[in-house]
Chains A and B, each alone.
Chain A
Amino acid sequence: MKKKSGKIVSLLLTAVMVLTLGAGCGGQGGGSEDAKEIKMGTILPLSGSQAPLGKIGQQARDMAIEEINAAGGIESMGGAKIKMVYADSKGDPATGVSEAERLITQEEVALITGCYQSGVAMPSTEVAERYQIPYFVDVPSEDQITERGFKYIFRLAEKTSWRNRAQTEFITSMAQKYNTPVKTVGLIYENTAWGQGAVRAWEKYLPEAGLEIVMKEPYPANSSDLTPVVLKAKKLNPDIIMMVSYVSDAALLTKTFAEHQVKPLAFIGTSGGFADPTYYDLAGDASENFFDISTWEPDVNRPNSQEINKRFQEKYGYAMNAEAVKAYAGMYVIKDALEKAGSTEPDKLREAFVATDLQSGPAQMYASQTKFDETGQMINAPLVICQYQKVNGKMERVTVWPEKEARVGSQIVWPYPGAGN
């Protein structure tokens, strides 16, 4: 009996607190005086097969929030602290939608961040747009997300097709720098939506740069033998070979290229299998001098990058990855917007994001300048090229391009010297 009445009292108290908060917001139009806590929501896959990916995103956010709150919170709002409410999407679009709805209507968050998968981002951003609540997309990269004319969606990540654009820029700049004319490109890709999407982007950007696609070779994922494809590439002899592969096929391709001594100017992977930690265990020395594209690497030469990664490692026991960096940097972009808005009112917050031009602080580990275009897309989302190189006898991913972000003291190997050289 006693317990029950205690429960009722606490329920009543909660109700009173919620009501007074609501009244404060309504009366003050933003409640900049009373809001000692800014409630935000994050949608991540926290259970299911993608749970480890969601977890590192949560840890990165928590670390940034702890830092921001410890440093005095949001000054323009009287030192208000950030409070993050995490919602589990299970990696499922339908769950993502209902969680977005719940965060907005029941948790009454000022802003939503998330959500790892593009498949979840597409429908859940629609919910936020409908309620006119800002949605900060940190990781999903599907082109469409910022191409739907939405007003409350801001994306920190690059568009998928930008990776292919950056690869093209890399080729052009290398051709000039090392005076090795590049005319032809061969594309080898797994025959999936991912591979075909990359090919569509390459078909746009490569010809624009004056490069001719002489080989376009799809293969079935998890092939038993990729020698036929490799021999075809050897015969057609393109100047550059670009690949989209998951790790098993990536390793098989790499080894078979080495076996048959195929020697273009460069092999360039498109993340995925080439970024997998088991890739060089499988491919061994054959992976030496292969290029891959990414947005952040532990060795990248950006302000604060090494220090923050080290702090993260001490706190959680493992290094950050590109997704964690985007989640972490994103929190500082949000902090910057809140400082400028001085309010949690959606429209003021939106205005602040539109006016964002962040060129200092911890977000530097991701990009030197954070600025959104009229579609809410981050302008010039950073991309780097890394190369598998032997450092002190151990194979490492060495960031080599662009020059100002390359690992200090690193050197690009261009053109490809051939396997074992």
Chain B
Amino acid sequence: MGFLSVVANGLSMGAIYGLIALGLTLIFGIMRIINFAQGALLMLSMMVSYWLWAATGINPYILVIIVGPIMFAVGYICERCLIKPVLDEQKDVREPVAVLLLTAALAIVLENAALMVFGADYVMAKTSFSTSTIALGPVTVSAARFYGLIIALLAAGIFYLFLHRTQVGCNIRATGQDRNAAALMGIDVPKTYAIAFGIGTALLSVAAVVLIPFYYVHPSVGAVFMTKAFIVVVLGGLGSIPGAVLGGVIIGLIESIGAQYMAATLTAMLVYLVFLLVLFVKPTGIFGSPYDW
């Protein structure tokens, strides 16, 4: 029965990795902006969520109603004021390296600003369900992580419908595929970019409220999850939402099950080994389209 608990933990933690990677799927996978500030923006979402929770004491999951729009605004403004001018300069470059450096710099600024404003102390939201577990038959799983699993699947489903069934979603995908063709079809490309970046950042606020009941907040917390988010996005296939969830779950399961048979430090190696194997067999990732690049 212990083994089932291990699998359940791997599944829920993996779904949360997928949730963290959802925003990156949009920004990096679809819009092709290598955003190194994603981890720092996650940290910012967690900080904002934590302080809102500390001030109001209401269920952190509900806080997404407030944190989501705040982070959307942050993402929208970042794109408009920082990324767009640089992108315009490098319009004809397929891989705009300057944007990559810009986001890396943004990450450093955000982390150090957080260090100054919030200090270097670790904090964690202590909710009523923070240390409780849910027993599903013989399986015990942490309540906070189990809710995370459900929210991750819900968020992924809604996000999928948004991208495929709404006009804005179609605009985003079209712009991601070919900026110039999209402009010729009458899509407001700069605005679409800003909206996409805003949504990609707002998705982090969902991940943030899922994380704060069981994970500490610290100015450097973004680094813990950012490398994993990039692996998840590439492993699942650039721009694929089911791919992001599946990629996250694969990593979660490897970490959880692997640790039962080897030292926990070795599972990190195993994750990269599987990553290499998948890329070797299918370079576009699990659900990646071969025509995309």
Query: Which A residues are within 8 Å of any B CB, using their own CB?
Result: 191, 217-220, 222-229, 231-232, 234-235, 247-248, 251-252, 255-256, 258-261, 278, 281-282, 284-286, 419
Chain B residues within an 8 Å CB radius of A219:
263-265
Chain A residues within an 8 Å CB radius of B131:
255, 258-259, 284-286, 419
Residue from the list A225, A252, A259, A278 in contact with B121, Cβ < 8 A: A278
CB pair A247–B9 under 8 Å, yes or no, is no
Which residues of B in the span 202-236 have a Cβ within 8 Å of any Cβ on A? 214-216, 218, 220, 223-225, 228
A25 to B248 alpha-carbon distance, docked (Å): 75
A69 to B220 alpha-carbon distance, docked (Å): 47
B268 at the interface (CB under 8 A from A): yes
Chain A residues within an 8 Å CB radius of B13:
224-225, 227
B112 at the interface (CB under 8 A from A): no
**Minimum distance in angstroms from B124 CB to a CB of chain A:** 5
Chain A residues within an 8 Å CB radius of B264:
217-220, 223, 226, 228-229
A228 to B259 alpha-carbon distance, docked (Å): 6
CB pair A255–B130 under 8 Å, yes or no, is yes
**Minimum distance in angstroms from B147 CB to a CB of chain A:** 13
Residue from the list A225, A227, A251 in contact with B216, Cβ < 8 A: A251
Chain A residues within an 8 Å CB radius of B215:
224, 252
Binary contact track B1-43/A, C-beta < 8 Å → 1, others 0: 0100110011001000100000000000000000000000000
Residue from the list B121, B124, B259 in contact with A232, Cβ < 8 A: B259
B126 at the interface (CB under 8 A from A): yes
Chain B residues within an 8 Å CB radius of A235:
2, 260
A231 to B6 alpha-carbon distance, docked (Å): 7
Given contacts A231-B9, A419-B131, contact A220 B260 (CB under 8 A): no
Chain A residues within an 8 Å CB radius of B265:
191, 218-220
Chain B residues within an 8 Å CB radius of A231:
2, 5-6, 9, 256, 259-260
B45 at the interface (CB under 8 A from A): no
B267 at the interface (CB under 8 A from A): yes
State the majority secondary structure of interface residues on A: helix
30 contacts between A and B (CB under 8 A): A191-B265, A218-B263, A219-B263, A220-B264, A222-B220, A223-B224, A223-B264, A224-B17, A224-B225, A225-B9, A225-B13, A226-B264, A227-B13, A227-B142, A227-B256, A228-B10, A231-B5, A232-B260, A234-B2, A235-B2, A252-B215, A255-B214, A260-B133, A261-B140, A281-B123, A282-B216, A284-B126, A284-B131, A285-B131, A286-B131
CB pair B263–A217 under 8 Å, yes or no, is yes
**Nearest residue in A to B211 (C-beta to C-beta)?**
A224
Chain B: interface size category: 35 or more
Chain B residues within an 8 Å CB radius of A419:
131
B59 at the interface (CB under 8 A from A): no
Residue from the list B17, B142, B218, B256 in contact with A228, Cβ < 8 A: B256
A217 to B256 alpha-carbon distance, docked (Å): 14
B160 at the interface (CB under 8 A from A): no
CB pair A248–B214 under 8 Å, yes or no, is no
**Minimum distance in angstroms from B77 CB to a CB of chain A:** 29
Which residues of B in the span 241-268 have a Cβ within 8 Å of any Cβ on A? 252, 255-260, 263-265, 267-268
**Nearest residue in A to B257 (C-beta to C-beta)?**
A228
CB pair A248–B216 under 8 Å, yes or no, is yes
CB pair A220–B124 under 8 Å, yes or no, is no
A191 to B260 alpha-carbon distance, docked (Å): 17
Chain B residues within an 8 Å CB radius of A247:
122
**Nearest residue in B to A273 (C-beta to C-beta)?**
B122
B132 at the interface (CB under 8 A from A): yes
Given contacts A225-B255, A228-B9, A260-B140, contact A251 B260 (CB under 8 A): no
| Shortest Cβ-Cβ A-B pairs, 3 listed | A228-B259, A219-B264, A227-B9
**Minimum distance in angstroms from B13 CB to a CB of chain A:** 5
Chain A residues within an 8 Å CB radius of B252:
225
CB pair A259–B142 under 8 Å, yes or no, is yes
A285 to B130 alpha-carbon distance, docked (Å): 11
**Minimum distance in angstroms from B141 CB to a CB of chain A:** 9
CB pair A282–B122 under 8 Å, yes or no, is yes
A419 to B252 alpha-carbon distance, docked (Å): 26
CB pair B124–A282 under 8 Å, yes or no, is yes
CB pair B255–A228 under 8 Å, yes or no, is yes
**Minimum distance in angstroms from B279 CB to a CB of chain A:** 22
Chain B residues within an 8 Å CB radius of A251:
122, 124, 216
CB pair A220–B268 under 8 Å, yes or no, is yes
Known: A231-B259, A235-B260. 20 other contacts (CB 8 A): A217-B263, A218-B263, A219-B264, A220-B265, A222-B220, A224-B215, A225-B255, A227-B142, A228-B256, A228-B260, A229-B264, A232-B260, A235-B2, A248-B122, A248-B218, A251-B122, A256-B142, A259-B142, A260-B5, A261-B140
Interface centre among A219, A234, A259 (most CB of B within 10 A): A259
**Minimum distance in angstroms from A417 CB to a CB of chain B:** 15
CB pair A222–B9 under 8 Å, yes or no, is no
Chain B residues within an 8 Å CB radius of A281:
123
Given contacts A218-B263, A248-B218, A282-B124, contact A228 B130 (CB under 8 A): no
Chain B residues within an 8 Å CB radius of A248:
122, 216, 218
Residue from the list A222, A227, A284 in contact with B130, Cβ < 8 A: A284
**Nearest residue in A to B220 (C-beta to C-beta)?**
A222
**Minimum distance in angstroms from B274 CB to a CB of chain A:** 16
Binary contact track B110-126/A, C-beta < 8 Å → 1, others 0: 00000000000111101
CB pair B6–A259 under 8 Å, yes or no, is no
A251 to B131 alpha-carbon distance, docked (Å): 12
A256 to B9 alpha-carbon distance, docked (Å): 11
Chain B residues within an 8 Å CB radius of A225:
9, 13, 252, 255-256
Chain A residues within an 8 Å CB radius of B258:
228
CB pair B122–A259 under 8 Å, yes or no, is no
Chain A residues within an 8 Å CB radius of B220:
222
**Minimum distance in angstroms from A174 CB to a CB of chain B:** 26
A217 to B260 alpha-carbon distance, docked (Å): 10
Chain B residues within an 8 Å CB radius of A217:
263-264
Chain A residues within an 8 Å CB radius of B259:
228-229, 231-232
Binary contact track B38-70/A, C-beta < 8 Å → 1, others 0: 000000000000000000000000000000000
